Chain A
Amino acid sequence: MDDKRLLEVKDLKVHFFTDDGVVKAVDGVSFHIDKGETLAVVGESGSGKSVTSLAIMRLIPNPPGRIVGGEILFRGKDGQVKDLAKQDEASMRKIRGNDIAMIFQEPMTSLNPVYTVGDQIAEAIVLHQGKSKKEALELSAEMLDLVGIPEPRKRLSNYPHQMSGGMRQRVMIAMALSCNPSLLIADEPTTALDVTIQAQILELMYKLQEEIGMSILFITHNLGVVAEMADRVVVMYAGRAVEEADVTPTFKRPKHPYTMGLLNSVPRLDLAAEHQQRLEAIPGNVPNPLRLPSGCAFHPRCKYFQAGRCDTDIPLLQDTGGGHMVRCVRWAEIQAEQGVTA
């Protein structure tokens, strides 16, 4: 693995064996994250984003879920590259929280109401760094200060119910960063927050990344925040990556019809009013994971659909130049068509 690579996911497959059949929640996803980089994973809900992140942490609920294929290569703090898909539970426990930390969507429920904030941050520090409870609390106060909570020492003895949602998400971030992980997975960290608080939390994460230099796997269904936060984007649809590229080209010139649809369905704040296009939602719904459409899974909703080409074989992920990967058989024609109309 390349020296600057932190994480490389290759052909990851996670299936859920339910009573109704096999749900291929993630079916051959590959991506990588370099050191200090932020990778955004976007897609409608149900596209397999959370399952991907849980697979990296090896927290897929089993049964019914299982990683059925692929590799998750990760460079630990010690420089060793390990395949997380093959680690046993004991070594995964050492990695979780210490090398890779995670923050969740729901700040209201991701802190335990029974313990003080200080106790909860200190728990991980005691666990991974072998510090005494007192030292751990000291460090917890520093972490709270770092994430911008005023009077951190006093706050240590607060209970979660005494804090607002934004404050709690800050606490979650403090907790996640307390052991200095090299990768932070943020699964829709701001979805449950008010818009103003969202902006504050995003800024905080941005700032912390500059200071600490960890990599972030940023999961969201909100394209608005991607451009601000991420260096590269992976767009997922029905368990597969359909487009992957640096943020700038993807957002200036998306090549996959699904990404175009996603972009057209959010207001573009970066464009002046006269350049705004009309917002249009992607027609139809996310397909039932038990009965994915044949060929390109997006074809029933795609306006460039062409019978015989799109619905026969699953399109391959092709490099369209400069590491811009697209999974669409007609991408070149669509580009040309758009070039004409634009």
Chain B
Amino acid sequence: MTRKIEAKPQGAVESRSFFQEAWIRFRRHPLARLGGGVLLVLYLGALFADFLAPYPETKSFRDLTFSPPTVIHWRDDNGRLTRPYICAVERKRNLETFKLEFVQNCSEKYVINFFVQGEPYKFLGFIPANLRLMGGDWLQNEQAYLFLWGSDDFGRDLWGRIWYGARVSLTVGIFATALALLIGVFMGSLSGFFAGKPLTLSVGLFNPAYRKFLSSSPLPNLLKTLGWLALWGGLAWLIWVTVSGFLATSRGLEAVVFGVVGIGLLLAIGYAILFPVIKIDLDTVIMRATEVLAAIPDLFLLITLSVLIPQGIPPAMRFYLVICILSFVNWGGLARVMRGQILQLREMEYAQAAQAMGASDGRVITRHILPGTFTFLIVNVTLAIPGFILAESGLSFIGLGIQDPASSWGLLLNKAQAQGITAFVDRPWMLIPGLFIFAAILCFNFMGDGLRDALDPRAKR
């Protein structure tokens, strides 16, 4: 035991935090970069929707429904390149095919001006502004109409509405994920921490264990007792009200059955108050709840819940309700993965080591267990967002989500099939919102993949 103790120096190690390294890996991931870039453009578009759109969100031209994209002319009559201009359009019925056709009348050229004063709006909802990307006096005087990507069933500019709709479609995912995350993380953590540790729900008052329970810490446990009693009492009252309601309207065998069931339940509650020690395993309760949720098909659940949204409420309100519904349907998955993570991290030696150094339970949880779930949650959230975007689109598509005159990609896509599937052929531009949904979801998935690769603990050398 006389040899000198030495540790081999390990070469210069740069000190980068785990997240710095992950960021470097993320930036090297080509698809993730692409996804991130496209999403950035989409989000900026949503932010500056008022600027990009020539018309306000709900501005409609009733006699220009389903007008095709406005032709932009780059050459003048002599074939020379000029500033882009458009012509006025008239809607006429073709007397041979009996279809409505839009006919250009290029006697007057309306030059598209950029960065012009347009219809005033409020940037971010409170900053008054009127700068718009494209326009001209003719646009405000309605001499000609600029429908870059055509118009919808109310003659509203699709290009503009796609950007307005992006506000809903791109944020619904984030808000719904955030809410689902909140519920999921909360439930999952409860589940994970209490797995295998049933909570005492009540101790029967006449149970020998009750005296011990009360004497261990009298005041809080007395309060707890009152809590249970209130709970049990409330339950008994509910049963009483229900059963007496049923009894009032039924007779014969039915009445006997209800009476017996009611009395049986009340007796059971009485027994529960007086004798047994009742423990519940929060873990089991929560996990079974998620299973029940998972067992009901999502779309069915979504439709059922959307029926609960009252008609005629303001669009913003509707938007938030849709978010609540979406997250309610989807918290289960996040709760399950969160539970799994916690169960795994709870057994990590560093959690035990921290405890062995004298850290309290709360400290171990907040400092050593929860941060370990972050990387995992980030990835999960990115991969969950597209699901919510799709779900919102689906809801709006079947007419249960966002409703006119508000705009969302799903709702816009819905218009494409408004007059039968064959209408696609006549107005293909109505499918553009679908492309946006597709692109956004693909990009979120790319980013999720990139994040997963970047944050994967196994990639940690």
Contacts and interface: CB of A to CB of B under 8 A. Distances in A.
Interface stretch (B221-229, B296-304, B347-355): B347-355
Interface residues of B, number: 32
22 contacts: A97-B357, A105-B349, A110-B349, A113-B18, A113-B372, A116-B15, A123-B357, A124-B358, A128-B358, A148-B6, A149-B7, A150-B7, A154-B15, A157-B15, A158-B13, A162-B15, A163-B10, A167-B7, A175-B357, A200-B5, A203-B1, A228-B1
A104 B357 CA distance: 12
Interface string B152-188: 0000000000000000000000000000000000000
Contacts of B80: none
Contact of A109 (B5, B196, B348, B367): B348
A164 interface: yes
User: For chain B, what secondary structure do more than half of its interface residues adopt (helix, strand, loop), or is it mixed?
Assistant: loop
Nearest to A108: B349
A148 B356 CA distance: 23
A109 B357 contact: no
Contact of B10 (A105, A164, A170): A164
B349 A106 contact: yes
B1 A207 contact: yes
A127 B357 contact: yes
B353 A172 contact: yes
A161 B7 contact: no
A63 interface: yes
B353 A102 contact: yes
A166 B7 contact: yes
A59 B351 CA distance: 12
B197 A63 contact: yes
A320 interface: no
Interface of A: 57, 59, 63-64, 93-98, 101-102, 104-106, 109-114, 116, 123-124, 127-128, 148-151, 154, 157-159, 161-164, 166-167, 170, 172, 175-176, 200, 203-204, 206-207, 228
A98 B197 CA distance: 29
B358 A112 contact: no
Contact of A96 (B196, B197, B357): B357
A310 to B, nearest CB: 38
A110 B10 contact: no
A128 B363 CA distance: 14
B197 A102 contact: no
Given A104-B352, A164-B10, A159 B368 contact: no
A104 B349 contact: yes
A94 B358 contact: yes
Nearest 3 CB-CB pairings of A with B = A97-B358, A97-B357, A110-B349
Contact of A148 (B7, B359, B368): B7
The interface centre, meaning the residue of B358, B457, B460 with most chain A CB atoms within 10 A of its CB, is B358
Contacts of A149: 7
A96 B15 contact: no
Contacts of B17: 116, 159
B9 interface: yes
Contacts of A97: 356-359
Nearest to B350: A112
Contacts of B348: 109
Nearest to A127: B358
B212 interface: no
Contacts of B13: 158, 162
Nearest to B10: A164
Contacts of A123: 354, 357, 359, 367
B99 interface: no
Interface string B384-426: 0000000000000000000000000000000000000000000
Nearest to A151: B9
B18 A124 contact: no
B7 A95 contact: no
A154 B10 CA distance: 12
B356 A101 contact: yes
Interface in B1-52: 1, 3, 5-7, 9-10, 13, 15, 17-18
Given A113-B18, A172-B353, 18 more contacts: A57-B356, A59-B356, A64-B196, A97-B357, A97-B359, A102-B353, A106-B349, A110-B352, A114-B371, A116-B17, A124-B357, A151-B9, A157-B15, A161-B461, A175-B357, A176-B357, A200-B5, A203-B5
Given A151-B9, A161-B460, A167-B10, A114 B18 contact: yes
Contacts of A175: 353, 357
A127 B9 contact: no
B434 to A, nearest CB: 42
A330 B353 CA distance: 42
A163 B367 CA distance: 21
B142 to A, nearest CB: 60
